[in-house]
Structure 1
Amino acid sequence: MQSPSAEPAAVSHSLQPGIGFDPATHRFRYYDFVMAAFVTVLLLSNVIGAAKPTFITIAGQQWVYGAGILFFPLGYVIGDVLTEIYGYARARRVIWAGFGALLFMAFMSWVVVSLPPAEGWNGQAAYESVFGQVPRIVFASIVAFWAGEFVNSYVMARMKIWTAGKLLWTRTIGSTVVGQGVDSLIFYPLAFYGEWETSQVITVMITNWLLKVSWEVVLTPVTYAVVGWLKRREGVEVFDTATDFTPFSTKV
């Protein structure tokens, strides 16, 4: 494969010889499905998993963690797939879609919990327990997601150019190390500083970061399989050699 040359917007090479590619007009077959998967994982991992602490026993020691951590890293895996297959600009649109969905979820949760329950209905306490999230934690979660995902996508796109499209595992793991690092550095201090002991904030922050990165490593074969399948069907290779990397845009 030839090295990408500088052109306006993302540079893309057809994987099928003789077939041209125009990134402005090309219609991707599976982009919408990948976007839907990303937003679905993002919302469900925040709604279903975030409120329940669980534990794992290692060498006789119990380690407590939020159940959402089992699924939230899938969002970073899908984010890696988005950037690898469709480029930074299209991944940026998906991140903004997820950001908007998170805002609406937080607003809807607040409205539903605040509405007075009908007489005879006994589920209000359960609703408040699951959906009555602390505003500070919601704010920290949304800000951390926005920053972490954009950093993840940026590092992924840049590393693809540096590696000439090879060594996918270095990009998926490297971008997650940085992106999840930014996510954790923002979320835990914003959400819990002053509520927890500083040492506890740091311990939980590092532990959860390591768990998320470890999940990325474990899921590397899955990422390879999905990326390979999508590249064959989309028929293009996208390099962000001249992309405007500002996060404050939804332009492709």
Structure 2
Amino acid sequence: MFENLTKTELYAILTGVFTASLIVSNIIAGKTFDFFSFTLPCGVIIFPIIYIVNDVLAEVYGYAKARRVILLGFFMNMIAVICYNITIWLPAPVFFENSQAFSIVLGSTLRLLVASFIAYLVGSLVNAKTMVYLKKWDEKKLFFRCIISTLFGEGLDAMLFIIIGFYGTMPLEALLMMIVAQALFKTVYEIIVYPVTKRVIASINELPEI
């Protein structure tokens, strides 16, 4: 699958995929959608990819390198948000008719940004740390490591993002259902694509280091 690449080269590619997916997820996270009577933030569409890459990084490269990518993603997303707000602030020419729509899509409220940043950092780091800890405990149970780490990471991510971002804007029951639905949705997603995750990890482990 990754012929002619080294682990170092692939680490750079995975870093790019992780960071780009994170930025996209935070752009679309401000909208929610109905899924079989559950309300979910649209960020769930791409966010599972982030956790799959997170699992691959932690499993193959270790916690230190996974944390480096997580922090890089955090700072790149912060730069993107700063650029969005500068762009919104700059005066548009009279013929540009989409300023309001542009601001609505990219001008997330401070509350949602704080919720997203905190949830991302805590969830991603817990996911990576759990993967590494479980690997020390038993190196053979990859499926168990991937699912349990995602359940913990996604659970914390969903809880923090939804409570910080939406508490007080909807009934408490709907808030709790949203947290459970989001965490389960992403975990089930990873279970479904686990064969891909397993294949990717196995292929990377066969590569030369440099």
TM-score (norm 2): 0.91
- Which residue of 2 is the match for residue 29 of structure 1? 9
Structure with greater helix percent:
2
- Which residue of 2 is the match for residue 195 of structure 1? 169
Whichever residue aligns with residue 135 of structure 2, its letter is K
Kept after mapping to 2: 8 A contact 1:143/1:187: yes
State how far apart, in whole Å, the 1-side matches of 2:183 and 2:7 are: 36
Kept after mapping to 1: 8 A contact 2:155/2:183: yes
- Residue 66 of structure 1: CA displacement? 2.8
Distance change >3 Å, CA 234–CA 80, structure 1 → 2: farther
Could you say which structure has the larger radius of gyration? Answer: 1
- Residue 106 of structure 1: CA displacement? 1.5
Q: 2:149 aligns with which of 175, 181, 194?
A: 175
Kept after mapping to 2: 8 A contact 1:110/1:132: yes
Q: Does 1:81 align with 2:56?
A: yes
Cα RMSD (Å) of the superposition? 1.8
Structure with greater strand percent:
1
SS in 1 for 2:9: coil
SS in 2 for 1:28: helix
Q: Does 1:50 align with 2:25?
A: no
SS in 1 for 2:44: helix
State how far apart, in whole Å, the 1-side matches of 2:69 and 2:118 are: 16
- Which residue of 2 is the match for residue 213 of structure 1? 187
SS in 2 for 1:120: coil
State how far apart, in whole Å, the 1-side matches of 2:118 and 2:35 are: 28
Q: 1:232 aligns with which of 199, 202, 206?
A: 206
Whichever residue aligns with residue 24 of structure 2, its letter is L
Whichever residue aligns with residue 223 of structure 1, its letter is T
SS in 1 for 2:201: helix
State how far apart, in whole Å, the 2-side matches of 1:169 and 1:109 are: 39
State how far apart, in whole Å, the 2-side matches of 1:224 and 1:109 are: 37
Whichever residue aligns with residue 48 of structure 2, its letter is P
The percentage of aligned residue pairs carrying the same residue is 30
My pick for the range that moved more, 117-126 or 82-91, is 117-126
How many pairs does the alignment contain? Answer: 205
Kept after mapping to 2: 8 A contact 1:29/1:234: no
Distance change >3 Å, CA 75–CA 170, structure 1 → 2: same
Distance change >3 Å, CA 43–CA 187, structure 1 → 2: same
Ranges in structure 1 where 5+ consecutive residues have no aligned partner: 1-25, 237-252
My pick for the range that moved more, 171-180 or 226-235, is 226-235
SS in 1 for 2:169: coil
- Residue 27 of structure 1: CA displacement? 7.2
Distance change >3 Å, CA 27–CA 169, structure 1 → 2: closer
- Residue 111 of structure 1: CA displacement? 1.3
Ranges in structure 2 where 5+ consecutive residues have no aligned partner: 1-5
SS in 2 for 1:65: strand
Distance change >3 Å, CA 227–CA 151, structure 1 → 2: same
